[in-house]
Amino acid sequence: MSETSTKDFSVIGKSVPKIDARDKVTGRAKYAGDLKVPGMLIGKILRSPHAHARILNINTSKAMELPGVAAVITARDVPSTFYGISPARYDETILAIEKVLQVGDKVAAVAAVDEETAVKALALIDVEYEVLPAVLDPLRAMDEGQPQVHPQYERNISVEIHQDFGDVEKAFRESYVVRTDCFQGNRATHVPMEPHAAISKWENGKLTIWSSSQSPHYFQYHISRVFGLKMGDVRVIKAFVGGGFGGKLEPSAAEYVSAALAMKTGRPVKIVFDRKEVFFHNRGRHAQHIELTTGVTKEGKILGVHAKFIIDGGSYTSLGIASAYYAGAMLPLIYDFDHFKFDGLRVHTNLPSCAAQRGHGAPQPRFAFESQLDMIAKELGMDPIEIRKVNARQPNTTTLNDLKVNSCEFTACLDKATEISDWAGKKGKLPPGQGIGIGCGGFITGAGYPIYRTRLPHASAVIKISEQGDTATLYIGAVDIGQGSDTILAQMAAEAVGINYEDVRIVSADTETTPHDFGAYASRQTLMSGHAVKQAGDEIRRQIIELAADLLEANAADVDIDRRVVFVKGSPEKTLTFENVANEFFIRKGPLVGKGSYAPPKLGGKFKGAAVGTSPAYSFAAQISQVEVDEETGQVMVTKVWDVHDCGTVINPSLLHGQVEGALFMGMGEAMYEQVVFDDKGKPLNANLGEYRVPTALDVPEVISELVDSYEPAGPWGVKEVGEGATLPTMGSYANAIYDAIGVRLYDLPLTPEKVWRAIQDRKKLL
Amino acid sequence: MVTAIKKGNLHVVRLVVNGEEHAALVKSNTTLLDLLREEFDYTGTKKGCELGDCGACTVLMDGKTVNSCLVLAVEANGHTVTTIEGLERNGELDRLQEEFINQAAVQCGYCSPGMILSAKALLVRNPHPSEREVREAIGGNLCRCTGYVRIVKAILAAAEANS
């Protein structure tokens, strides 16, 4: 694995250590739950034991009398404003007003001097419920006569999507092979190691929240709206964040309820979710029921695709409208075809809400597509790699749903993956019980449009040089949740200004001290926030060069900066230090500051839902997995995975490969183990980390992460996505490898030993 | 085990944390995790599940790894505890900490303290572990960011430096 760059950059392209690594390995890094504010109370939320029930009465008097309790609140004590994160679908309130819609829904809350008192007080709140029939089966949720989860969504339909491009029926008539297969996805969830946490402080009409947040901006926007405050009177400060993966993109009860309790008591209030509450809040992967029909020519060229989805949205909309659109929107990205029909239905059930998780809406459809493509290749007698190469997207093309692709080295990814995995030496040649399979993917580099309608730029940055000229501070709203954006943006700042990485300090993700940025989601920051940083750095460089030209009596066009040396090109004796020039700048003109901002160009088509899937740039990836299957037990062991990613220019190779490894690992968990399961009353049965099985260090295969040469013209220095793309191919590549090993096709995620074993028994019956 | 002295509903516990003597009055149900975090402010010890599933709260008690969420504060009475804050000596990082930085084994960092302490206990009892032994030693420490790739590399690199 190449972790040193050959490109001619001073700071970017190098595996510098993470800017916050020392704080994290010494325990100094403070996450929201670690912070203590003087006078702070502890908040706890009373949650519903029922999946669907009417609240008849809540008696809080006994809880109020408990010594040490400062406040007990119900819906009556807080704003009744509906909130959400999908525009026009605000359907959630701080505390349940009339009905609870899932087990774990928010009913009442307590602030007390300590956690034990708060928990005791919760037990003293008396709630009288009228239990209602619950909707638990997404495939029946839209039937007549089913209970209504929300009164405003008839037949529990959250969103219904019909998109039709070209003439798919005609494409199928002209196809040599047309296959229809049904696939079932799983209800996986993010499992950030850090549970959601927030501390709210209410002082002089101003609300300050320290939070575990992927987007202080969206938090500020929604929280100010719900409480009727000016945005400027709400300050959201990101503490260190212990992982998000999509689950911390919108404010949770940790923020809303702690804020309400802080306003009620006048004291700071901290709420830290326990692990069960993280499962209740959820916003994880939608379980998708997929019917996929694909028609291809004799040569394997895909002519048309019809994808139908029913997806389980759970109780609230959250970001689920976008998730539903992403399911179909990303299908035409990596393979080029002209005819596509996409019918989607997201339904409400009385289960925890689903929304964005790494790869947002796209991984399960990708699993279905990659599985079916292998089945088609088999029918045609083609090699699975070959059918992918026949259809692989090419650079500078536009998808049928108007996604404009600039750089695209997908074919190179396929070639390299084939080579490094020794596909030719292994495919069909491995001993019985062993197999090799391929799956591919591609993903956006930031969404083309923000989640709510606004004309704000997507990212902005300010760089300020110290008076002495010895350090630079980057002020940026971009959000480091562990992926390393603080580090790579500091590298970019150093590169643009002409100084060293070690000279850069960063202040990030605080709505008051840093300029606006939409935050960490949709793999957007390296490109979008990076553009803003580059612009800010360029502005400083220009100002330094201008003054240096004056001081050196040279032409500004001949002056350059590299790693703190300001010099005249071709005259090595004419140099100044960066400090000298910067210090002189301050003396003559005051603060040396550069600023930048970025908004993507207008992207996408005009049809309904066209905005979803748009992006300035797209990544591509091919993954090959090798497995061993024990036919007696159905146990699958993945022995090795090769990932080849087309991610544009690399800013920090170690962090980049860390993203690929982590994304692949998340795909692996979803492929093999992960599924939240419920009893027949809608109560989660495995809302803990013992029974919701995430992979341990003993479960993961050897991972080889490789890159192809690529340059993205829409990105600063040629960068594009890496954080999510590698989650997409894994499920399909595992399913295809299992098929190669034992000739058994699995359609349902996760690919558990039980399912493998049952499929083996079914095949035996057929023989 | 030294029995903690009871005072009304509270117990006096004395323990050595990171080389320093500490004493506190605790309730019977106070965990070592809460004692460390809330009383002594060693917040490098993380709370991830409170059920012993995730390993984020791993500390060393008399050199052995424990999930501090499953140890009562009174059980820690008279014992020696090392938290992540105790590995750095006079501004110098432990080799494991250095390698976690060098190998980019840290992403969100929430599992890192527990992970490093599990590795520390391993390297003390087995200075030259195999990759399998490393994976077994951190088998009870969940990480959701890295796929463990660089964590295993970092621990092996620290072991390499031992020789």
Three-state DSSP string of A20-86: CHHHHHHCCCCEHHHCCCCCCEEEEEEECCCCCEEEEEEECHHHHHCCCEEEEECHHHCCCCCECCC
Q: pLDDT by residue (tens digit) across A229-276?
A: 999 999 999 999 999 999 999 999 999 999 999 999 999 999 999 999
Taken in order of first residue, the domains within chain B and their CATH numbers are 5-86 (3.10.20.30), 95-162 (1.10.150.120)
3 state SS of A742? helix
Of B43, B97, B148, the CB nearest to A25: B97
Q: At what angle do helices B149-162 and A653-672 cross, to 10 degrees?
A: 120
Residue among B19, B15, B7, B5 nearest B89 (CA) = B19
Chain A residue numbers touching B35 (CB-CB < 8 A):
none
Mean pLDDT of A211-238: 98
- Contact predicate A477/A515, CB 8 Å: yes
Q: Is residue A710 left, alpha or beta, with left meaning phi > 0 and alpha meaning psi from -120 to 50?
A: beta
Cβ of A27 within 8 Å of Cβ of B56? The answer is no
Contacts of B95 in chain A (CB under 8 A): none
The token pair that represents A512 in the structure block: 């008051």
Name A93's Cβ contacts closer than 8 Å, sequence gap at least 6: A75, A78, A80, A81, A82, A83
Assign A392 a pLDDT band (cuts: 50, 70, 90).
Answer: very high
DSSP string, A442-471: EEESS-SS-SS---S-SEEEEEEE-TTSS-
E strands present in B64-163: 64-67, 80-82
| Cβ atoms < 10 Å from Cβ of B25 | 16
Do A347 and A323 contact (CB within 8 A), yes or no? no
Residue A2: band (very low, low, confident or very high) from pLDDT cuts 50, 70, 90: very low
Strands B10-17 and B80-82: parallel
* pLDDT number for residue A267: 98
Decide if A25 and B112 are in contact by the 8 Å CB cutoff.
yes
Answer yes or no: is pLDDT of A16 > 70. Answer: yes
Q: Over chain A, what is the mean pLDDT?
A: 97
Whether the Cβ atoms of residue A721 and residue A445 lie closer than 8 Å to each other: yes
d(C-alpha A590, C-alpha A543), whole Å: 12
- CA–CA separation, A433 and A426 (whole Å): 13
Give residue A5's pLDDT band: very low, low, confident or very high (50, 70, 90). Answer: very low
Query: Is pLDDT of B9 > 90?
Result: no
Nearest to B80 by CA among B157, B149, B159, B2: B2
Q: Is the pLDDT of residue A4 over 80?
A: no
Determine which helix (DSSP H) or strand (DSSP E) holds A183, and give its type and residue range: strand A177-184
Contacts of A25 in chain B (CB under 8 A): 84, 93, 97, 100-101, 106, 109, 112-113, 116
Listed in sequence order, the residues at least 6 apart from A335 whose beta carbon sits closer than 8 Å to its beta carbon are: A302, A373, A388, A391, A392, A393
Mean pLDDT, all residues of chain B: 96
DSSP annotation string for A120-175:
HHHHT-EEEEEE------TTTTTSTTPPPSSTTSGGGEEEEEEEEES-HHHHHHT-
Residue B94 identity: D
Cis amide linkage into residue A750, ω under 30° from 0: yes
Query: CB of A566 within 8 A of CB of A558?
Result: no
Closest CA to A258 of A43, A564, A530: A43
- Chain B residues inside the 8 Å CB shell of A17: 101-102, 104
Question: Does residue A351 contact residue A102 with C-beta atoms inside 8 Å?
Answer: yes
Task: Say how far apart CA A317 and CA A86 lie, in whole Å.
Answer: 7
Provide the 10 A C-beta neighbour count for residue A170.
13
Residues A341-377 pLDDT 10s: 999 999 999 999 999 999 999 999 999 999 999 999 9
Residue A591 CB: number of other CB atoms within 10 A?
Answer: 10
Give the H or E element holding residue A292: strand A288-296
Please enumerate in sequence order all residues whose Cβ is within 8 A of that of A80, keeping only pairs 6 or more positions apart, or say none: A93, A97
Mutate to test the interface with A, among B107, B120, B136 (most CBs of A within 10 A): B107
Q: How far is Cα A713 from Cα A728, in angstroms, rounded to an integer?
A: 24
Distance CA A215, CA A98 (A): 30
Cβ A497 vs Cβ A625: under 8 Å:
no
| Chain A neighbors of B113, CB-CB under 8 A | 25, 27
> What confidence tier does B4 reach under pLDDT thresholds 50, 70, 90?
confident
- Please determine, for residue A415, whether its predicted confidence score (pLDDT) is greater than 80: yes
Cα–Cα distances in Å, from A292 out to A81, A372, A391, A747?
40, 8, 17, 11
Beta bridge partners of A179: A294
- With an 8 Å Cβ cutoff, are A116 and B141 in contact? no
Give the span between the Cα atoms of A648 and A530, in whole angstroms: 13
The token duo for A71 is 């406040």
Q: Which residues, 6 or more positions from A719, have their beta carbon under 8 angstroms from its beta carbon?
A: A445, A526, A527, A530, A647, A648, A649, A650, A651, A712
Rg of chain B over all Cα atoms, to the nearest angstrom: 16
Largest CA distance in chain A: 89
DSSP A717: G
* A754 φ/ψ angles, rounded to the nearest 5 degrees: -60, -45
**Residue A573 φ/ψ, nearest 5 degrees:** -80, -20
**Pairing label, strands A41-47, A269-272:** parallel
pLDDT of A528: 98
On the question of pLDDT at A45 being above 60, the answer is yes
Q: With CA atoms as reference, report the closest residue to A401 among A607, A624, A647, A622.
A: A607
Interface test with B, best of A23, A193, A480, A672 (most B CBs within 10 A): A193
- What proportion of chain A, given as a percentage, has pLDDT over 70? 99
Query: What's the CA gap between A652 and A174, in Å, rounded?
Result: 48
pLDDT surpasses 80 at A118: yes
Q: Which of A1, A3, A25, A37 to mutate to test the interface with B (most CBs of B within 10 A)?
A: A25
Residues 6+ apart with CB under 8 A from B111: A193, B46, B48, B54, B55, B56, B141, B142, B143, B144, B145
- Choose among A25, A245, A275: nearest Cβ to B101: A25
Residues of A in contact with B104 (CB under 8 A): 15, 17-18, 21, 654-655, 658
pLDDT score, position A7:
59
β-bridge pairing B20-27 and B10-17: antiparallel
Taking each helix axis as running N to C, give the angle between helix B95-102 and helix B149-162, from 0 to 180 degrees, rounded to the nearest 10. Answer: 140
Residue of A18, A22, A688 lying closest to B51 (CB–CB): A688
pLDDT of residue A668: 96
Q: What is the pLDDT of residue B2?
A: 64
What are phi and psi for residue A580, nearest 5 degrees? -60, -45
Q: Does B30 touch chain A (CB under 8 A)?
A: no
pLDDT surpassing 60 at residue A494 = yes
Look up residue A673 and give its amino acid. Y
Q: Which of A517-526, A568-577, A663-672 has the lowest mean pLDDT?
A: A568-577
Dist CA A19 CA B62 (whole Å) = 33
Rounded distance between C-alpha atoms, residue B159 and residue B123, angstroms? 7
Please, which pLDDT band fits residue A525 given cuts at 50, 70 and 90?
A: very high
Report the amino acid identity of residue A371: S
Sign of CA dihedral A448, A450, A454, A460: negative
Determine the Cα–Cα distance for residues A692 and A709; give it in Å rounded to an integer: 39
pLDDT digits (tens, 9 = 90+) for A423-438: 999 999 999 999 999 9
User: Taking the CA of residue A364 as centre, how many other CA atoms within 13 Å lie in the half-sphere pointing to its CB?
Assistant: 35
| Polymer length of chain B | 163
Domains and CATH numbers, chain A: 21-28+458-598 (3.30.365.10), 32-132+196-241+248-281 (3.90.1170.50), 288-449+605-766 (3.30.365.10)
- Distance set, CA A153 to CA A79, A141, A149, A281, A285 (Å): 23, 11, 8, 21, 21
- Rounded to a whole number of angstroms, the distance from the CA of A320 to the nearest CA of chain B is 23
CB B22 within 8 A of CB B80: no
**Share above pLDDT 90 across residues of chain A, in percent, rounded to a whole number:** 98
- Integer angstrom CA distances of residue A587 from A369, A564, A584, A591, B93: 63, 19, 5, 9, 40
DSSP A212: -
Region label for A425, one of left (φ > 0), alpha (ψ between -120 and 50) or beta (otherwise):
alpha
Over residues B110-118, mean pLDDT: 98
- Picking from A22, A665, A703, the nearest residue to B101 by CB comes out as A22
pLDDT of residue B1: 52
Which chain B residues have a beta carbon less than 8 Å from that of A24? Answer: 106, 109, 112
Closest-CA distance, A244 to chain B, in angstroms, reads 9
**Contact yes or no for B76/B66 (Cβ under 8 A):** no
